[in-house]
Structure 1
């Protein structure tokens, strides 16, 4: 193995990431050993965000992960020292940040049509736009290089070029239809006017044919959560439990009882949370949901359970008693213009927040105890199990929608409902002789 291909063990990286992460980019990597979706390589590569990190500005790249070839360590230390010095800081401010191809092109187009820098900033530099374009960058770069290798203009909205690329990648990389559709949306973001592609007959025919090849899986029924509940009941009492166990328990209970994603819990401001014996009121700033295109603040109410070992309020009470002596305020993970007091903390450093992925891992550590039927999809999330159990137990759909803060019943029916079984015996009702019904 060459110096360029060596890497640390994946599990050890995840431990480092849980303590000092989340990291945003792996600066010295190859497609074989990259620890993060975004990475830079030594030489140009279609999957890399950029290449030769020593020659690139590191400002505005986020939290860097650096695991370089050994012979580059002196140069890296020198670069880090330069950025830490006063002169280096000044130069760093003057260096342009790397932009995804779509964003850079839009910035140029807005300037050409006469938009002021203030107007362009409003459109392109919002936290949501920045996250979207950083996420889109690698896929867009692969498409651009693929087109350029064939002497085609990747910035010309040519439906045949896009369709040929998607078909090529689907064949060579075994993309599923859902992956093709997601990549298509990312590439379309390159164009200020998508209509030459989206309105073309050949494009519509290709997308329709692609969707027709995919089959939505049948319902799997409500899963048996008794092994997970038995595990929670086997744990010590909340006050005697190891902090990592208590953290996992709390995250899982919040997911299944209040339908909170890891992203929601990541955005909870504990300073605005209220608690009493009846319910816990969590305040979520900038959740994934929007209303009429606007970002929102979401309030979630969680009720108590009579069994203290299965009660999210009891878990919350003991968890917050462990972290109360470690107050901390951090920038909001989605918008640095806001600050929050993070809810879930690093179990080794209580003054440090954790990443959304760490919260998801906490949930999955208990969800893995739930046996699942054979199904070619990802593990079923506790919020889907919880909402389906609520429906099967007779809770009204309106109450489930309100509890999940979902915009419509379609959200529950299309994304979370695992079974359509109801408590009513329709056979008995339909065939009952005493009903007196006639047609």
Structure 2
């Protein structure tokens, strides 16, 4: 089978035993196919299955149950998998845009919504779905930090829905500060909170007050897709190779934090990643010390 032959050749080129591969060997081979051979995801999945058939049942099971391997396949299977360490993550155009928008108080609601979504997602390492599930009634603001409460994010624990608190610190420059952007956004939308309270999109028995609201009808929540579009309005300013998929705020924030020296263990905790191995596998990192995610990411 083509996949088996390609894997055997590749492993021999690496000086590895093709009949005794590790989960990391298989991931590295799939990476090779994706990045260098430009294989389609359907081809990668077919080759993965064919390669596993080379191995005894016990070894197949060991690889399939490897935590990193399972997470890798989930990300690869989204159709947007691309290791950001193969690209240049340049936030300079984004920072220039945020500065050009001016102060929060005089900003129109459309730009303020996009800015708030982008800053919270990037500095909080959040998905659009996380912002859509944030219950503003439970969020807390104290001094220079904001605690968002994400009700029923995509992450689960032992198959059960969870509530995820996310702490986001302020930035000394107002143009780049997610906390000040949040404060102004709430100033304009909080009077509609009692009308906005609604059934949670993932639980018919749970009520919540959505943070992100419709532009003209602040009593209505923004959908995950709408939040994603607002984030992309700003993210699209980042230069990237046309062959690469659009960057995600969660990925860019993670990569920028690591490059600025935030320890990987802190990134795992802040982003609610399943393990350090996931971050290690998807990003080239520095382990120099840093403490403020917002300042580190937007510098």
After TM superposition, the score normalised by the length of structure 1 is 0.47
- CA gap of 1:247–1:384, structure 2 versus 1, over 3 A, is same
Q: Confirm whether residue 341 of structure 1 aligns to residue 174 of structure 2.
A: no
Alignment match of 1:224 (pick from 90, 104, 109): 90
- CA gap of 1:365–1:326, structure 2 versus 1, over 3 A, is same
Distance 2:218 2:90 in 1: 34
Distance 2:91 2:265 in 1: 24
Distance 1:294 1:224 in 2: 37
Alignment match of 1:292 (pick from 158, 161, 174): 158
SS at 2:96 equivalent: helix
Q: Confirm whether residue 248 of structure 1 aligns to residue 114 of structure 2.
A: yes
Structure 2 match to 1:273: 139
User: Deviation at 1:410?
Assistant: 2.3
SS at 1:324 equivalent: helix
SS at 1:325 equivalent: helix
SS at 1:288 equivalent: strand
- Greater RCO, CA 8 A, separation 6+: 2
Structure 1 match to 2:236: 368
Structure 2 match to 1:353: 221
Superimposed CA distance per residue, residues 76-132 of structure 1 (whole angstroms, 9 cap, x where no aligned partner): xxxxxxxxxxxxxxxxxxxxxxxxxxxxxxxxxxxxxxxxxxxxxxxxxxxxxxxxx
Distance 1:237 1:221 in 2: 32
SS at 2:161 equivalent: strand
User: Deviation at 1:422?
Assistant: 6.4
Alignment match of 1:309 (pick from 175, 188, 205): 175
Distance 1:331 1:383 in 2: 26
8 Å contact kept, 1:222–1:385 = no
8 Å contact kept, 1:222–1:388 = no
Structure 1 match to 2:245: 378
User: Deviation at 1:411?
Assistant: 2.7
Distance 1:370 1:218 in 2: 13
8 Å contact kept, 2:84–2:255 = no
User: Deviation at 1:312?
Assistant: 0.3
- CA gap of 1:384–1:216, structure 2 versus 1, over 3 A, is closer
Count of paired positions: 225
CA-based RMSD of the aligned residues comes to 3.2
8 Å contact kept, 2:262–2:287 = no
After TM superposition, the score normalised by the length of structure 2 is 0.68
Stretches of structure 1 that go unaligned for 5 or more consecutive residues are 1-174, 183-198, 425-439
8 Å contact kept, 1:264–1:284 = yes
Stretches of structure 2 that go unaligned for 5 or more consecutive residues are 1-38, 47-51, 65-72, 74-80, 290-299
Distance 2:53 2:173 in 1: 60
Distance 2:112 2:129 in 1: 19
User: Deviation at 1:217?
Assistant: 6.0
8 Å contact kept, 2:136–2:210 = yes
Distance 1:297 1:274 in 2: 15
Q: Confirm whether residue 261 of structure 1 aligns to residue 127 of structure 2.
A: yes
